[in-house]
Structure formats: structure tokens, C-alpha cells
Structure 1
Amino acid sequence: MLATPLVTLQRDVEGGGDLGRLVEIVAEHEVVEVVVGMPRTLAGRHGPAAEAAESYGTALAERIAPVPVVYSDERLTTVTASRMLSKRGVRGKKQRAVVDQAAAVEILQAWLDSRGNTTREELS
């Protein structure tokens, strides 16, 4: 399987509009599992950002049940995405506009690769 970007959502910490849109996307695309990036420190520890990601994942899981929410290590994904974009000639403002989306693709692709050849039927 190959991860491809679908849409970039802006975080809406106060209103939760991003969660609502994710719920719509999960239903619209018949998603069977959601992967949330877990921002651990380089030493592998959980910091405030990881706690926020866990809280977000829990809130999402409550709204999309029975679709499972899993977490995937996102260490260095922004660095990897920035390098990949630079190699493709995307720099400056253009890179800043898409680097989060590219990092999300990196997170999902790493998770898919770690799963091997699991089929959609096996996930259901």
C-alpha cells in the first residue's frame, strides 16, 4: 500500500472543528483504522506534545468508534519530509505550506510498512 495525502486540516483547539471534519472523512471514505502521529522525544519519552496527541486520539476514538485509533512514532518525520521536498525542488514558503502534509504521509507510510501486507479485509 502507498500512503497519499488527502486533505490538510488546521487544528481547531478551541472549537474542535478539525475533529468534526475528521469524523466526516472517516465515514465518507469508509476508513477502517486511523493512525495518529505520536511525537516522542528523540530519547523515546512522552512529553507534553505526546500527551496532547494522546488526548486528541482519545477524543477522536470516542467519536469514530468502532473504528480503531492507533499511534505511530513521528520522530524526525518533519525533517525527512523537508529533505524529500528539498530534493524535489520545493523550498521556502511552498515547502512550509506542504511540509506537515508530507510528514503525515511519512507517518502513515512508515506505519503501513510496519504492518507488512495486511489487507483491508484483515483490518475489518
Structure 2
Amino acid sequence: MITQSALEMRDALAEGGSLIGLDTGTKTIGVALCDREWRFATAGTTIRRTKFAADKAQIRAIVAERGVKGIVIGLPLNMDGSESPRSQGARAMARNLEDLGLPILLWDERWTTQAAERAMIEQDFSRAKRAERIDSHAAALILQGAIDALAGSAF
């Protein structure tokens, strides 16, 4: 199941469980994870993209290791809410991960990278550390927004 509705995702995850958040780009995939109660999203790793089969294998390994019950993928939208050219890439990622058998939520990711960078600057991350971790921190912001909605605080 692929959806853009937090309500549909919540129905599919009636028993809760850990989620993985993905910020997909052309060169990297930022990964974040949340607790089973959908309270806190934390930045995880950054996957350097190669062939999709290898990327998927890494995602599958994280899903298995952490007992993930659902996937949240950042959906890049234009400022007016319309889909951007990059939206197709996020949708393709969702379709390609669908065979993992987990519900997938496409979540608006507008401004997450900028917000992550601002937060990292405020925490005095060096440029090198920011470049290394920006995607996983953006994934954490995407996932936090989604779990806030799933938990009912953003309805």
C-alpha cells in the first residue's frame, strides 16, 4: 500500500511499530528511524546510492534489523503543493519498495533540508559534518512530521 494519507497509514499500522524515514536524492538516501510509540524520530545513516538493487538491500537490512513496520518517504513538492520533477523519483522509490510488504506513506518534505541545515549550523556542525549528515537529519524531520500526524497531533 502506498498512500499520502496519514489516516490510511495509521489504519494500516493499527498495532503501531517502528518506522523508517527516507529522504531520497540522486546521490544519497538519508535514513531515519522512530520508536515503536511514534514519539521520536532520530537520524540514522546515509546510504550512498549505487544500483537500486544494492540500495534496496541496505534498506531491507535496516528494516529487518530494526523490526520496521512501515516506511515514510519524503515527497518533494513545489511551494504551491504541486508535484515537482523530483516527486516522480520518490514515487518510483515507493513502488520499488512496495514488495517489502510494508505500508508506505509519501510525506511532504518541503523545507526539511533547509531546516536540518539550520539546526546543524546552530549546533556548530562543521561544513564537512553537515555535508555528511544532512540527508539523514532531513529524513528525521520528514519522519517526525509523519509520526506527529500518525499519533494524532497534526490532524
Q: TM-score higher than 0.5 here?
A: yes
CA RMSD in angstroms, aligned pairs only: 1.6
Q: Return 5+ residue gaps in structure 2 as ranges.
A: 1-38
Q: Tell me if 1:33 matches 2:57.
A: no
Q: TM (normalized to structure 2)?
A: 0.69
Q: Tell me, in whole angstroms, the C-alpha distance in 1 between the residues paired with 2:46 and 2:98.
A: 19
Report the number of matched residues: 115
Q: Return 5+ residue gaps in structure 1 as ranges.
A: 119-124
Aligned residue identity for 1:106: L
Higher normalized strand content (fraction of residues): 2
Q: Tell me, in whole angstroms, the C-alpha distance in 2 between the residues paired with 1:2 and 1:115.
A: 12
Identity of aligned residues (%): 29
**Corresponding residue of 1:57:** 94
Q: Tell me, in whole angstroms, the C-alpha distance in 2 between the residues paired with 1:21 and 1:91.
A: 27
C-alpha displacement of 1:91: 3.2
Structure 1 SS opposite 2:41:
coil
**Corresponding residue of 2:44:** 6
Q: Tell me, in whole angstroms, the C-alpha distance in 2 between the residues paired with 1:114 and 1:97.
A: 28
**Corresponding residue of 1:73:** 108
Deviations 1:53-105 (A, max 9, x none): 1001110112x11x111111100000000000011011322211111111011
Structure 2 SS opposite 1:6:
strand
Q: Tell me, in whole angstroms, the C-alpha distance in 2 between the residues paired with 1:110 and 1:19.
A: 24
The one of 50, 60, 64 aligned to 1:23: 60
Note closer, same or farther for the CA distance 1:15–1:53 as it changes in structure 2 (3 Å cut): closer
Q: Tell me, in whole angstroms, the C-alpha distance in 2 between the residues paired with 1:44 and 1:88.
A: 31
Q: Tell me, in whole angstroms, the C-alpha distance in 2 between the residues paired with 1:94 and 1:103.
A: 14
Structure 1 SS opposite 2:120:
helix
